[in-house]
Homo-oligomer: A and B are copies of this chain.
Amino acid sequence: MTNEVLDYLRTHREEHLQQLTEYLKIESISSDSTHKDDVCRAAEWTAKALKEAGMEHVQVMETAKHPVVYGDWLHAEGAPTVLLYGHYDVQPVDPVHLWTTPPFEPTIRDGKIYARGASDDKGQVFMQIKVIEAIMKTHGKLPVNVKFIYEGEEEIGSPSLDPFVEAHQELLSADLLLVSDTTMIGKGEPSICYGLRGLCGLQIDVKGPNSDVHSGLYGGAIQNPLHALAEILASLHNQDGQITVNGFYDKVRPLTDEEITTYEALSDDEALKAQLGLKELFGEKGFSTKARLWGRPTLELNGVWGGYQGEGIKTVIPSEAHAKITCRLVPDQDPKEIAELLKQHILAHTPKGVTVEITLFDQARPFLTPYDHPAIQTAGRALEKAYGKSPVYTRMGGSVPVVETFNTLLNLPAVLMGFGLENENFHAPNEHFHLENFDKGMDALTYFFYELTNKK
């Protein structure tokens, strides 16, 4: 059964790449309200693709912000139901001048397709849909039942998804969740992810004088909001890379001895330095690189700004200074608790002469599942067939908030079978996706659906 499907995918490869290009051209930046219509267009495109794949009950469902796209095919009697998840929204694209080709003009170079969303996550959403389409066109039916839920808010912390899932538990009920939004451990190294970090964060707005003022005429007599902010920010870490927020590590689940050994073995510091052009790495004292990335929490400044950013000198003391902070969390940290601890720390470390306002961002719980679950082992066999190599069981430093949501609300085991590579510049200029994994990934998904019912 699978061979015909794989043949179909080979035959239609050019056509698929053209369709993917069309999809990637849509500027579906979810964090930027000026792109609201583009986000909607991407939802419509996704829905149309599901219909063309032969899916039923396809609908674009409104939420408080960006819509959810749903569709299903439920005629495989007695077979399990797989809920497929992905997101059609993308990250912002600045700084645009660092892109070799424009972020929304997809370009193929050296066997990779360059565009915002190529890897994270439109490319992978597209693969899920096209595999289902290939099976339908080849055999007229699927070996399993499927439901699709594609959201448009993943890059902003999925604020609408929890209420959506809660309100549609019947519609979304399934036997397992399949997520293609994670990375492989390396090129040619198929991986299944069994853990994700959670997320919480906030913005600090420091307010000083009611207007920008001249640093000659006022400098020395008032607190400079930029100094105050620098003091607050510097207080968040110590020199050993540890986070100094009181209670931050209290609920962190220690790594097992097996994890410590495995993660150390999987760490390739030289490769990472070469990839990022760094002379040295830096992180929490006492942990290997992969342990720092997968099993330890972080606190990162994502943006800091205030005062003059132009050419040359402007002798000003700015009225305001700002910072955006996010934390990556691990089991059993609670995002709400950590955000509150962080807030208390900032207020306690605010220097004299300024006031501080804090705005909390949306949050995601960390996720960890046992990797000997049968669904995960089935995915492992599918990957081995497609790549000719048994997969590595990994964790991921990023967050896919919805995984925890589905786990909690629908009690679904999650299979995180992703085809991105860590150096594919998600969230950065020149995001791209390796076409090798576009091809092998679709093969693996095909094997996976058939392996689930043992119809090969």
Within 8 A of B (CB), among A2-58: 31-33
The interface residues of chain B lying within 8 Å CB-to-CB of A218 are 276, 293, 397
The interface residues of chain B lying within 8 Å CB-to-CB of A440 are none
B226 and A98 contact, CB distance less than 8 A: no
CA distance A209 to B429 in the complex (A): 12
Asked if A219 is at the interface of the complex by the 8 Å CB criterion, the answer is yes
B302 and A304 contact, CB distance less than 8 A: no
Min CB distance A259 to B, Å, is 15
CA distance A216 to B224 in the complex (A): 32
The interface residues of chain B lying within 8 Å CB-to-CB of A33 are 311
A328 and B272 contact, CB distance less than 8 A: no
Closest residue of chain B to A326 (Cβ to Cβ) is B315
Within 8 A of B (CB), among A286-316: 289, 292-293, 296-298, 300-316
Asked if A80 is at the interface of the complex by the 8 Å CB criterion, the answer is no
Cβ-neighbour of A31 out of B220, B223, B231, B313 (below 8 A): B313
The interface residues of chain B lying within 8 Å CB-to-CB of A353 are 278-282
Count residues of chain A with CB under 8 A from any CB of chain B: 101
0 or 1 for each of A315-328: is its CB under 8 Å from B? (1 = yes): 11110011110101
B284 and A220 contact, CB distance less than 8 A: yes
Supposing A92-B310, A305-B305, A308-B303 touch, asked if A227 and B219 sit within 8 A by C-beta, the answer is no
Question: Can you list 9 A-B pairs with a CB-CB distance of less than 8 A?
Answer: A209-B277, A211-B425, A216-B396, A216-B399, A221-B281, A221-B283, A230-B301, A234-B235, A282-B353
The 3 closest A-B pairs by CB, nearest first: A216-B398, A282-B353, A234-B234
Given A199-B216, A301-B307, 19 further pairs, Cβ under 8 A: A32-B310, A32-B312, A91-B316, A155-B313, A211-B276, A212-B428, A212-B429, A214-B427, A223-B281, A224-B301, A229-B304, A231-B234, A282-B351, A302-B314, A305-B307, A313-B326, A315-B326, A315-B427, A316-B427
